[in-house]
Structure 1
């Protein structure tokens, strides 16, 4: 019932049938109502803060993308060497450590009345100044420290992909339970059956299209391997789902199948346009805007995935029987900012193609980046 309910209970035990104690009782109820309204406002403010952090995360990554793809022209006019451009991109990725600072300052926050709750949900002018400072200071940091951050970012990006996988599985489980037939609610299985069929048809069509576009030649060994491996995973998941000891239906495996096919498609599509197995080899300049739109959609998707994982801290808890009190924070601030800092590391690796020794000159990430993502998720 909460701490305040316990306080009320103790007061009720001590109440005596006298008129002098009626006023304190009413005052206590009024105080409880005021605190309840105050905590409700703080929770609402805390939930709104999540969207501000998501916007900041997206804007910083868009700035990094702009510097990577258009900053090279400015640097070339300044007659700088190519390694300086790579260093610029690395340091801009290093500046996204802002979210790690927020993790350190909000870790273990549990109550709405704590000062760190106010820091998480407010002080936006101060945090904006810190963010701008974090975009400037890294350019004065020694290159060796930036190189060390790049090595750590590789590990952090891998951890981010693993956490994303857990979050995706949790979401698929919830979606499956929502669409499964329920006798108590008289819910039909038609919708679940329809969606399962739709996801599997989409997955099979995706496999066929990838074979036609990216594996039309026997010499495209790498593309054939990844597409075939994805097809095998689809069959294995379907067989396991239909096994008598599992008997959980095809919806979960169908959604995961579509997800894996999407990862495989983004991976093989990222190969350079000059590659012999790439259909983009013969594209004209009109394909540039489609690449930009696709990259922006990818950024938005990863930002949303980071956002959803950050607020889903209960998925990664071994014990979920804790009852939230009225003055408890609505989500774990430290975990939220930790996911964003790991997501920043993942973006930093994508922007330099997971390669600390060479730069990327176009919008697409290289095979290694998204192939690794596909392997981890698959």
Structure 2
């Protein structure tokens, strides 16, 4: 679908009808694509697994950019204006909720997953998350950045959530778990968690695939009435990467070992993938806060000699 809809620009093109219709033939292709892998050699499936691991990582990066783009849009939506003082108070209320949830999340993770000194890895994960939150808040409130508390509160909650999911993906260690492994691995809990994960990933795939503009680095093109509403090729590319991410969840990102029964996205590989994703999210958001100041300082530095020459000549 990505190859067949790439560079589709106008609604009158035949590829637009292919993207929006032909559901009978697409259903046949879907059933064929589900059945065919059972008859393929294991070597080919393993090659796809290696590709899927890279594609799943790319999907996490695209999802991260989309999430931060949404946070920036939400922050602009609640930016206080003279004629909208109510939005200022509501934005302050929402930012307080997010920051409070982040703080409570860190405290809860300490008491639940790092109650003993032997849980040194969990202590490191949670402590480093708390440090990242403090740095994000401090940078957001700096006079040169001045981005307020709303966006930092949302990204702080997202980072705490990533830290919690990383800890939950660790192999069961009774002394570091709030409940024993028998209760924690009940089938219905696993099924509910998996259904929630499916909904979250599908929603993220839809929103990322349609929100292609936040990934454009060039100038925005002028849209016409007969233009397609979004980039079909990019939409299907994101869906293929999302499917690769699903594949990695089923095998816990480990191609060499089979996961245990009723164990989805559990293992050290899954844990470190989520931890690295958390660190990258914090670093990416901090760079988005600092980069305008850095560019402004460069421009000011380049203009300083010109300003001094002009002043001396006027004198």
**Fold similarity call, TM over 0.5:** yes
Decide which moves more: 240-249 or 368-377: 368-377
1:164 pairs with 54, 60, 63, which one?
63
Q: 1:256-275 residue pairs with structure 2 within 5 A? A: 256-275=155-174
2:233 pairs with 321, 330, 334, which one?
334
**For residues 38 and 182 of structure 2, what CA distance do their matches in structure 1 show?**
38
Q: 1:4-83 residue pairs with structure 2 within 5 A? A: none
1:371 and 2:269 aligned: no
8 Å contact from structure 1 (residues 220, 277) kept in 2: yes
Decide which moves more: 164-173 or 263-272: 263-272
8 Å contact from structure 2 (residues 137, 152) kept in 1: yes
**For residues 180 and 210 of structure 1, what CA distance do their matches in structure 2 show?**
32
**For residues 359 and 210 of structure 1, what CA distance do their matches in structure 2 show?**
29
Q: Secondary structure at the match of 1:218?
A: coil
Decide which moves more: 335-344 or 265-274: 265-274
Work out which of the two has the higher radius of gyration on C-alpha atoms and give 1 or 2: 1
Cα gap change, 1:208 to 1:364, in 2 (>3 Å): farther
Provide the residue aligned with 2:144 in structure 1.
245
Provide the residue aligned with 1:41 in structure 2.
none
Provide the residue aligned with 1:317 in structure 2.
216
8 Å contact from structure 2 (residues 56, 241) kept in 1: yes
CA shift, 1:365, in A, is 1.3
Provide the residue aligned with 1:181 in structure 2.
80
Cα gap change, 1:137 to 1:283, in 2 (>3 Å): closer
Cα gap change, 1:332 to 1:247, in 2 (>3 Å): same
TM-score, normalised relative to structure 2: 0.84
8 Å contact from structure 1 (residues 271, 278) kept in 2: no
Provide the residue aligned with 2:198 in structure 1.
299
Runs of 4+ deviating beyond 3 Å: 184-188, 272-276, 282-288
Q: 1:166-245 residue pairs with structure 2 within 5 A? A: 166-245=65-144
What root-mean-square deviation, in Å, do the aligned CA atoms of Structure 1 and Structure 2 show?
Answer: 1.7
**For residues 275 and 120 of structure 1, what CA distance do their matches in structure 2 show?**
50
CA shift, 1:152, in A, is 1.0
Structure 1 residue ranges without an equivalent (≥5): 1-101
